[in-house]
Amino acid sequence: ISLTVYPTGGNASSPIMYGLMHEDINNSGDGGIYAELIRNRAFQGSDRFPASLEAWSPLNNHSVLTLKKSTPQPLSAALPNSVNVARSQKKNGTLGLVNAGYWGMDASLQSAITGEVFGSVEVPSRLNATATSGGGWVQHEFVLVPGKKAANSNNTFAITFDAADLKDGSLDFNLISLFPPTYKNRPNGLRVDIMEALAELNPKFLRLPGGNMLEGNTISTYWKWNETIGPLKDRPGMAGTWNYQLTTGLGLVEYMHWCDDLNLEPIVAVYSGLALDGAYTPASQIHTDVQFALDELEFLTGDAATTKWGAVRAQILGHTAPWKVKYVEIGNEDWLAGRPTAYDAYKQYRFGAFLSALGEKYPDVQVIASPSVFDGMVIPAPAAGDYHPYLTPDEFVLQGFGRFDAMGRGNLTLIGEAASVHPNGGIGWDGNLMANPWWGGSVGEAVFLIGAERNGDKVIGATYAPGLRNLNRWQWGVTLMQHAADPSLTTRSTSFYVWKLLGNHAIAKTLPVTATSGGFGPLYYVAGKGAKGTGIFKAAVYNTTQPVPVSIRFEGIAKQGAKATLTVLTGPENPYGVNDPFTRVNVVEEKASTLKAGRGGVFEFSLPRLSVAVLETEA
């Protein structure tokens, strides 16, 4: 195929074309990007997941652990439970409790196998007046510096004490928290290796929080932003929608720090009055949900001196400077739960109530509805939509590539979640999701994303979902990355490489391209200009057994002798090949080469079957 790219025409592309989305699924927050090492640190519970001693065990057979309600003096209203550690016989000796972490700990503390201690610290008792007279809580802070490196992450954390020092032979504990060094050393921060991997993607936005977690299973169990802020002792946690209790230690402010640290545009998703079971807020009450969303935005963006929630932000966080929020999404997948009645309510009053209130108070904010025009739903202007294609690779190519060409210019859309999840020729949602992203699926995603980039003025941006999966407990297999306590298991999936390549060559403006022959397929492509004036060509080859020879020239950008870098991703012969977190086999090959334009400024190369490539000229 022979292509000519013209220097004028085309359209401006979104400056935030690739990004991230996060919800706590697959222990991607607790036990994932949130760096806390202690699992079940505060014995949080809910109707759905009653408080328990999960992950805790007695140090030895003299120690007895009992979960109890800390009455009459709870640590806080939010954290009413604690663990009592008592002696089993009236014998003195060492007592204690042990935490298994999120299936191990990448910290040299104590080997779970041999019991060897790698690091310990003595914490002197500082009983206060109330405590000596029976029952006050005392906070102990300590720094643990391991004296020796552990051989692996099969480690535990233990608190031990001498029963002889106690009047009644027992102690109560709550909020037992331990952090390793975090990304940019944030207190209560994020895991370094995962953040570093995400930074490689060159993301530009974070949809926070996305997914079902925002909605909650029932009308009363949605993600309440105001219960995720402030000191950890004031966060009750919540019943997650993905079968485990959440600490909400990774809360609204931590999401904003994540944005600050990776320079991401926050896409703040607010609760829309619809739960996953299809229940929704009646018209007479919708103003409370709207006010809840307005308060959240005021907390994030309000002036510390003149607004109620801006002052709260400044007082509890010392974060005087407001954040900037340009995008607000109303809910998550409003097209899914409770059709048709919840949809009627969406059309009649739910969405409109949010749209007008936000429009009035924050006229510069781009409001995003949680469905898209592709879900058969109306998106009232000036809102944008949110499209979540979870498809087969063939669907991404056959329906996905041209999707945005056909979409009207007035239908600005976020691609707030996307992934190849089912194999071609299978039974779709009646079958299981694939266990991991696979190479053929990742190339299908590339074709779709190239189609989106061709319409970079109609698309706000795109993100893969879900992003993360803890290999020890998960609900959704196909994720961009997988991880466990041991950082050497952090795995970049086949899709990770595709999204990374596309995300690292940002097109500022698309440019018109003509081809000497044929339409799209088996080569799918987009051309454009980078912010520094480089010529950029992105392509994917799908559904052919043969390599595709390409010659391309960028009129007005690259003359004879100009140089360009061609980066090509290829996978295994078998399109179902995966980057396996357990065998650590990586099937994606990335090759970069420098090309020189020949006569007429033409670059010539050949792209293998099932490949994804980017050519970018030198500035």
Q: Is 286 in the site for ligand AHR (CB under 6 A)?
A: no
The DSSP code sequence of 27-66 is TSTBTTTB----TTTT----SSS----TTEEESSTTEEEE
**Minimum distance of ligand AHR from residue 466's CB (angstroms):** 4
Question: How far are the Cα atoms of 224, 464, 523 from residue 212, in angstroms, in the given order?
Answer: 13, 15, 36
Tokens 């995003």, located at residue: 368
Residue among 25 and 407 whose Cβ is closer to ligand AHR: 25
User: Cα(610)–Cα(15) distance, rounded to whole angstroms?
Assistant: 28
Contact 236, 78 (CB under 8 A): yes
CB-based closest residue to ligand AHR: 211
Q: Is 239 in the site for ligand AHR (CB under 6 A)?
A: no
- Residues that contact ligand AHR, how many (by CB under 6 A): 11
User: Cα(145)–Cα(158) distance, rounded to whole angstroms?
Assistant: 14
Which helix (H) or strand (E) covers residue 609, if one does?
Answer: none
3-class DSSP assignment, residue 298:
helix
**Minimum distance of ligand AHR from residue 398's CB (angstroms):** 22
Q: What is the 3-state secondary structure (H, E, C) of 187-248?
A: CCCECHHHHHHHHHCCCCEEEECCHHHHHCCCCCCCCCHHHCCCCHHHCCCEECCCCCEECC
Residue among 371 and 466 whose Cβ is closer to ligand AHR: 466
Give the residue, chosen from 212, 490, 494, 534, that forms a contact with ligand AHR under the rule CB under 6 A.
Answer: 212
Give the residue, chosen from 3, 17, 23, 613, that forms a contact with ligand AHR under the rule CB under 6 A.
Answer: 23
Residue among 354 and 464 whose Cβ is closer to ligand AHR: 464
Q: For 431, which DSSP code? A: S
Question: How far are the Cα atoms of 284, 461, 532, 567 from residue 535, in angstroms, in the given order?
Answer: 55, 21, 9, 14
User: Cα(235)–Cα(135) distance, rounded to whole angstroms?
Assistant: 22
**Minimum distance of ligand AHR from residue 140's CB (angstroms):** 38
State the greatest distance between any 2 C-alpha atoms of the chain, in Å, as a whole number: 92
User: Cα(182)–Cα(196) distance, rounded to whole angstroms?
Assistant: 11
Tokens of 99: 């935490």
Residue among 289 and 333 whose Cβ is closer to ligand AHR: 333
**Minimum distance of ligand AHR from residue 370's CB (angstroms):** 9
Residue among 56 and 343 whose Cβ is closer to ligand AHR: 343
Residue among 346 and 554 whose Cβ is closer to ligand AHR: 346
Tokens of 478: 């196909």
Residue among 477 and 487 whose Cβ is closer to ligand AHR: 477
HSE, side-chain direction, 13 A CA sphere, residue 154 = 8
Residue among 211 and 461 whose Cβ is closer to ligand AHR: 211
**Minimum distance of ligand AHR from residue 334's CB (angstroms):** 11
Give the residue, chosen from 81, 155, 221, 332, that forms a contact with ligand AHR under the rule CB under 6 A.
Answer: 332
x-or-dash pattern for ligand AHR, window 447-476, by CB under 6 A?
Answer: ------------------xx---------x
Contact 204, 267 (CB under 8 A): no
Residue among 332 and 491 whose Cβ is closer to ligand AHR: 332
Q: Is 211 in the site for ligand AHR (CB under 6 A)?
A: yes
Residue among 171 and 414 whose Cβ is closer to ligand AHR: 414
Which helix (H) or strand (E) covers residue 333, if one does?
Answer: none
Give the residue, chosen from 333, 375, 386, 394, that forms a contact with ligand AHR under the rule CB under 6 A.
Answer: 333
**Minimum distance of ligand AHR from residue 213's CB (angstroms):** 7
**Minimum distance of ligand AHR from residue 465's CB (angstroms):** 4
Residue among 441 and 577 whose Cβ is closer to ligand AHR: 441
Interaction residues for ligand AHR, span 399-418 (CB under 6 A):
417
Cβ neighbours for 259, distance < 8 A, ≥ 6 positions apart:
206, 208, 265, 266, 323
Residue among 180 and 477 whose Cβ is closer to ligand AHR: 477
**Minimum distance of ligand AHR from residue 444's CB (angstroms):** 17
Which helix (H) or strand (E) covers residue 508, if one does?
Answer: none
Interaction residues for ligand AHR, span 365-394 (CB under 6 A):
388
**Minimum distance of ligand AHR from residue 419's CB (angstroms):** 8
Question: How far are the Cα atoms of 111, 112, 418 from residue 148, in angstroms, in the given order?
Answer: 11, 15, 43
**Binding footprint of ligand AHR on the chain (CB under 6 A):** 23, 25, 211-212, 332-333, 388, 417, 465-466, 476
